[in-house]
Amino acid sequence: MVELVILRHGESQANRDGIFTGWSDVSLTEKGIAQAHEAGRLIASTGLQFEHCHTSMLKRAIATAHIVLDEINQLYIPETKSWRLNERHYGALRGKKKAAVKAEVGEQQFKRWRRSYKVVPPLLTVPDYDARYAALGVTEPVGESLQMAYDRLMPYWQDQIAPRLLSGHNQLVVAHGSTLRALIKYIERIDDVAIDQLEVPNGEPIVYQFDTKLHVVDKQVLNQ
C-alpha cells in the first residue's frame, strides 16, 4: 500500500482577516504556525516516511510544509514548489473583504463565486506581474474557476505525484483550500455539483491509502 498525505496550510493573515487571497503571498498567523506544528505531530504519529514533498510557490504553504517536515524529522527529503499547486486565483475579488462582498452581491452569488465548480470570479483587467512566475514563462491568471484550477493542477498530478505513488513511494502535498478541493475531486471522483459542499480546513491532514492502481483503499482525516 502506498500513502498520500494532503494538507492545507495553517491559518494565514488573510484567512484571519476574512480577505479573498488567491495568489497573494501572505504569511501564516501565530495560530497558523501552531496549526502547522500540530499537523506535523499528527502526521508523525502515523510513522509515514515520505519520498517527496510537493508545495506551491506561496509562502503560507511553503512555511507550513517546512514546519511539518521538521516535526516529522524529514526536512532532508526532496521538495518541489510548483505554481500549479498555487491557490485558485480569485481575480478581482483578491484583496477584498469576504463579508463586504457578501453584503454587496448577496449570499447566493457569494457562494457561487466561492464554491461552484465552473463559475469564474470577476476578472482582473490586467494580469499581475511577479518575477517568480515570469522566470518560468508563466503568465499569472486574471481569475480562475475551480475547474480552471483543476485543469492546471492535473498535469502536475499526472507527471509528478501519480508516478511516484505508482512506484510505491509515499508523497506529501501541502497546498491550498481550492487546489486541494480540486485534487480531492479527482481522487474521490466527486461530481461537478457535489464538490460545492466540500470544505478543506486549515491544518488538518488527510491520509489516502491507495492500491497499486491508485484506487482509494482508505481515507483518514487526522485531527486531535
Ligand X SMILES: O=C(O)[C@H](O)COP(=O)(O)O
117 interacts with ligand X by CB under 6 A: no
176 interacts with ligand X by CB under 6 A: yes
Among 3, 7, 21, 69, binds ligand X (CB under 6 A): 21
114 annotated as ligand-binding: yes
C-alpha span between 148 and 89 (Å, rounded): 9
Q: Residues 82, 156: contact at Cβ < 8 Å? A: yes
Among 71, 87, 140, 144, binds ligand X (CB under 6 A): 87
Range list of H helices, the chain: 13-17, 30-44, 59-71, 98-105, 107-115, 131-134, 146-156, 162-166, 177-187
Q: Report the nearest approach of ligand X to the CB of residue 60 (Å).
A: 8
Instruction: Give the CB-nearest residue to ligand X.
Output: 21
Catalytic-labelled residue, pool 3, 38, 71, 87: 87
Nearest in space to 158 (alpha carbons), one of 88, 66, 63, 84:
84
Q: What is the grid cell recorded at 66?
A: 517546512
Give SS3 for 126. coil
Stretch of 36-44, 137-145, 175-183, 190-198 lying at the interface with ligand X (CB under 6 A): 175-183
Q: Report the nearest approach of ligand X to the CB of residue 68 (Å).
A: 18
For residue 17, the Cα-to-chain-centroid distance in whole angstroms is: 19
66 is catalytic: no
14 annotated as ligand-binding: yes
Residues 177-196 as x/- pattern, contact with ligand X by CB under 6 A: xx------------------
Given the complex with ligand X, which of 22 and 203 has the nearer CB atom?
A: 22
Nearest in space to 2 (alpha carbons), one of 160, 221, 217:
217
87 is catalytic: yes
Beta-bridge mates of residue 119: none
Binding residues for substrate: 8-15, 21-22, 60, 87-90, 98, 114-115
* Residues near ligand X (CB under 6 A): 20-22, 87, 90, 114, 176-178
